[in-house]
Amino acid sequence: MLDRTKTPAKTIAPRDFESHPSYIYPGYKSTVKRGPTQPLIPLKASIGELQQPVYGHSSIGEFDNDLTRNARRNGEPLGERMILTGQVMDERKRPIRNTLVEIWQANAAGRYVHKVDQHDAPLDPNFLGAGRCMTDDEGRYRFLTIKPGAYPWGNHPNAWRPQHIHLSLFGEHFASRLVTQMYFPGDPLMQYDPMVTGTPAKYRNRLVADFSLDITEPDYALGYIFDIVLRGADETPFENR
């Protein structure tokens, strides 16, 4: 979907649908209400949709990929600073260049800047929890942010979401969007979370970032690597298959 090489379509690896969570997963209650119950009907894209330009570099602000700076009002955001980086690749591990990557997340206390989020945790006036960047010529993206906190979400008794960051990738037109979530290694809440367990067990590790001392900046921020594979045998599980 996001591969802009000139490789003939017949050589593109098929989607690994088994690696993705189901549209309806009873353990994740809201999917029962919003998941489709009838077979999906493919819609042919219009010429206008196919020819929309990709988001350009001019649309990216200087601090859009630095969530510790893009919403400052009167000081530093609170919490543990972290670096999130990775490479976006196709099924042959070739880099996907100039792709818009967006992230959004809760703050260090586990609360989103959103009117629907009424979790009894403080908002941080210096942290928006959203950022974006373009992948470079090697398909790499990089964000500086604050490690998000866990939060209750009411899906089941004593339900808490693991620490996580949402990622969205755009292709050449708005309809070519892929969405996933990234989790942190060793989080004990993952085994109880239906958004994690809804993904087949043997593919869940693809949703967990790797801690990297090489990416870590001394005395400043811990580093994590989360690579994203768009298709093929190592495909990252996405929420919109």
Per the CB < 8 A criterion, the answer to whether 88 and 234 are in contact is no
* Alpha helices (runs of H) in 20-100, residue ranges in sequence order: 29-34, 47-50
Q: Note every long-range contact of 191-195, with CB atoms under 8 Å and residues 24 or more positions apart, other chains counting.
A: 192/159, 192/160, 193/160, 193/161, 193/162, 194/25, 194/27, 194/28, 194/29, 194/155, 194/156, 195/21, 195/28, 195/161
Per the CB < 8 A criterion, the answer to whether 178 and 238 are in contact is yes
151 classed as catalytic? yes
Q: Give the bridge partners for 221, in sequence order.
A: 217
Q: Given the residues 28, 111, 112, 204, select the one marked as catalytic.
A: 112
- Decide: helix, strand or coil at residue 19: helix
72 classed as catalytic? no
Distance, in Å, from the CA atom of 87 to the CA atom of 229, rounded to the nearest integer, reads: 8
Distance, in Å, from the CA atom of 1 to the CA atom of 232, rounded to the nearest integer, reads: 12
166 classed as catalytic? yes
Q: Given the residues 166, 173, 177, 241, select the one marked as catalytic.
A: 166
The one-letter amino acid code at 131 reads: G
- The sign of the dihedral angle between the CA atoms of 6, 11, 16, 22 is positive
Q: Given the residues 111, 161, 206, 231, select the one marked as catalytic.
A: 161
Whole-angstrom distance between the N-terminal and C-terminal Cα of the chain? 11
28 classed as catalytic? no
List residues with catalytic annotation: 112, 151, 161, 164, 166
